[in-house]
Amino acid sequence: MLNLIALAICLSITACAQSQIQNNAETALSDSAAFNRPDSFWRRVLSPKQYYVLREKGTEKPFSGKWLLNNDSGIYTCAGCGNALFDASRKFDAHCGWPSFDEEIAGGKITTRTDNSHGMSRTEILCARCGGHLGHLFDDGPSSTGKRYCVNSLSLEFTEQTASAPQTDTLTLGGGCFWCIEAVFEKLKGVVKVESGYSGGLVANPSYEAVCSGNTGHAEVVQIIFDPNQTSTTEILKVFFTVHDPCTLNRQGADVGSQYRSVVFYRNAAQKATSLSIIDALNASGAYSRPVVTAVEAFSTFYVADISHQDYYSRNPNGAYCRMVIQPKMEKFEKVFKDRVKP
């Protein structure tokens, strides 16, 4: 895969730079959960309709929202930042044209303030994490709480839950050769499964050779399935930005080509917002001497690589590539995230 002589030279040049930025990067990433972001950020993250409701305090038309008639079990989250707001068990039909709940999830997920617009005095409800407008709170609920949280569907996303299966989330990342990234995430607590493969291209079921040609548009990626009760999108991205160089366009070390690009493929608005927020924090902190070039793109399809590329590091620990390229990344991960390494 690599010219090992060129790789050795590249590693010697970049090793000092990586150690110098490590502390700054960690400081920037530690603040990434705060979603007090400028208007330009929300215009990038949200669709025009979501922006109108969440940031401009608009209201969707009654009986038009996608979650109005949803009766599945699960959790409703803020469409802007992923903050968990309502359990579906607290939803009821208020016959008002908007999803209604009689209680929020405990823990200060929602804040309120007086809204005197349109010649009325109402209680506005907002996401406590990002300040996004959700709707209004009324004292005419049918249950013992006496509350009715009247919420725009455009302010919400929904994650279905079933009692028969453990709850997991999935994130797909590209950061150079997938052997390197896979090896690191297999050791992170909370990660259930990691697979190497390809995403972001135009060719169905590409071969490894075709992807390596750079002509399919795919990136080498890892698909990470994780338990959100043990780790999070934020922590996974912290690890991701620590163990690869996000400032080199279409290359990692001596691996050169669009197939080695740095990219996050997000599956929902919360993953997108978290990714962009971390990138903004890294750039603002000056953690790197150059801008982060990591792309943030909507996930489409993941094609799993053949078996010879799965668990490559664990099966070939003494190989030249593993010793020269993967082992330093593993050592860095185990040092920075020592309390998060699987036993």
Catalytic residues: 150, 177
| Long-range contacts, stretch 320-327, CB < 8 angstroms, 24+ apart | 320/4, 321/1, 321/2, 321/4, 321/179, 322/179, 324/4, 324/7, 324/8, 324/11, 325/2, 325/7, 325/11, 325/177, 325/180, 325/253, 326/179, 326/180, 326/183
Q: Return the HEC string of 61-90.
A: CCCCCCCCCCCCCEEEEECCCCCEEEEHHH
Closest CA to 175 of 245, 223, 123: 245
Q: Centre a 10 Å sphere on the Cβ of residue 111 and count the other Cβ atoms it contains.
A: 13
Q: Measure Cα distances from 104 to 71, 85, 87, 132, 227 in Å.
A: 17, 6, 7, 15, 23
Structure tokens at 267: 């599956």
Closest CA to 32 of 227, 329, 271, 337: 271
Q: What are the residues whose beta carbons fall under 8 Å from the beta carbon of 145, sequence distance 6 or more? A: 102, 103
